[in-house]
Amino acid sequence: MPFDADHKIAEQDLSKILEAGRWTPTAHNMQNYEIIVVNDSKVLESIANIKKPVSETFIRENYYQLSSSEEELLKRKTGLLGTMFPPAWRNPDFKLDKTAESIQRPFPACPVMLIVVYDPGKRAPASEGDFLGILSLGCLMENMWLMANSLGICFHIVSSLSADVAEKEVKEILSIPDNLKIAFSCRLGYKSSLPEKYLRVRRDIEDFTSYNKFGSKKQD
């Protein structure tokens, strides 16, 4: 998603986004997160140029969420249109090679990035796998996302910086302590051009809702 790198985000708008994050409901009010605001162009460039390895696991598992046509996607009501991804990624037998490596490219420029980190050593009480803590981080993301969109600011989630190789480089660039892990990153900015439109689908309410017991649909 291309952003206008020269269209800066006003300080008061960035503050509103961070304030929305501040009031995120978190498990046991642990607030187990730190946010690094990156708005220095040289630091942004360093992060953008980090090589982000293509994940074979992601591509293979993502394949089963893809539809080959808009008609198929409308029928399934879930997943994504296959044309959103390179042809090589639409193959369940995908194997990493030089072609896949050539797909790696820097992030498009943006005026601000937010890097959200947390301490995996601080688990929410009696939460297996820290499910509640991870849920809290999702709430943080959504709070900031909604505020950004209400201000006309695009909010692009970047998951590749959480991968081991890329994460190590980001932590070195930003002097992030060893005990913290990157939960997610996001690019903030204003559109520099109209984004390519893709068909988006959702299940109907009756497809995922039961009443009083699982599988029992609403009665007239």
Residue ranges per structural domain of the chain? 11-52+106-195, 54-103
pLDDT of residue 102: 43
70's enclosing H/E stretch is helix 70-76
pLDDT of residue 76: 95
pTM of this structure: 0.87
Residue 27, sorted as left (phi over 0), alpha (psi -120 to 50) or beta, turns out to be beta
CA-to-CA dists, residue 215 to 203, 207, 209, 211, 219, angstroms: 15, 10, 8, 8, 12
Q: Compute, in degrees rounded to 10, the torsion defined by CA atoms 167, 173, 174, 180.
A: 30
Tens of pLDDT, residue by residue, the chain (220 residues): 778 888 999 999 999 999 999 999 999 999 999 999 999 999 999 999 888 777 788 888 999 999 999 999 999 999 999 998 888 888 888 777 655 554 566 678 899 999 999 999 999 999 999 999 999 999 999 999 999 999 999 999 988 898 888 999 999 999 999 999 999 999 999 988 776 777 889 999 999 999 999 999 876 5
The CATH code of the domain at 11-52+106-195 is 3.40.109.10
